[in-house]
Amino acid sequence: AQSVTQLGSHVSVSEGALVLLRCNYSSSVPPYLFWYVQYPNQGLQLLLKYTTGATLVKGINGFEAEFKKSETSFHLTKPSAHMSDAAEYFCAVSDWVDTGNQFYFGTGTSLTVIP
């Protein structure tokens, strides 16, 4: 089965600073990887995904992530944090099991942006 590890359950950055949220995966097949963001009292919104092709993936709100097979990583970055980026971020890997696709989520990283 696939799995995802998010290092750091809480990350704080100053407004304007680099955002780096870490995600490492375990997969027996080429992975399909996703980042989602969750704002308070809301559902998850897709930020970006990697399936095949270019290993640097650009998403919404200025976020991007790089797939590194040798490091089994898919870290999320943003060059300059904004107050509106404060949220919970989840990394996920998808897998095919018998009858359908399943997502396996990390435990999440809560991002705080300090003014």
Partner 1 sequence: NAGVTQTPKFQVLKTGQSMTLQCAQDMNHNSMYWYRQDPGMGLRLIYYSASEGTTDKGEVPNGYNVSRLNKREFSLRLESAAPSQTSVYFCASSEVATRDQPQHFGDGTRLSIL
The contact set with partner 1 (CB under 8 A) reads 9, 32, 34, 36, 41-46, 49, 51, 90, 94-96, 98-103, 105-108
State both tokens at 32. Answer: 């399909």
Residues 77, 23: contact at Cβ < 8 Å? no
Q: Strand, helix or coil at 92?
A: strand
Distance from C-alpha of 73 to C-alpha of 112, rounded to nearest angstrom: 22
Write down the least CB distance from residue 26 to partner 1, Å. Answer: 15
Compute the distance between CA of residue 96 and CA of residue 38 in angstroms, rounded to an integer: 25
> What's the closest the beta carbon of residue 1 comes to partner 1, in angstroms?
9
Taking the least distance from each CB to partner 1, the nearer of 16 and 58 is 58
Distance between CA atoms of 62 and 109, rounded to whole angstroms? Answer: 18
CB of 80 to partner 1, least distance (A): 26
- Least Å distance, CB 63 to partner 1, is 15
Nearer Cβ to partner 1, position 6 or 73?
6
Is 66 or 95 the residue whose CB approaches partner 1 more closely? Answer: 95
Largest CA distance in the chain: 48
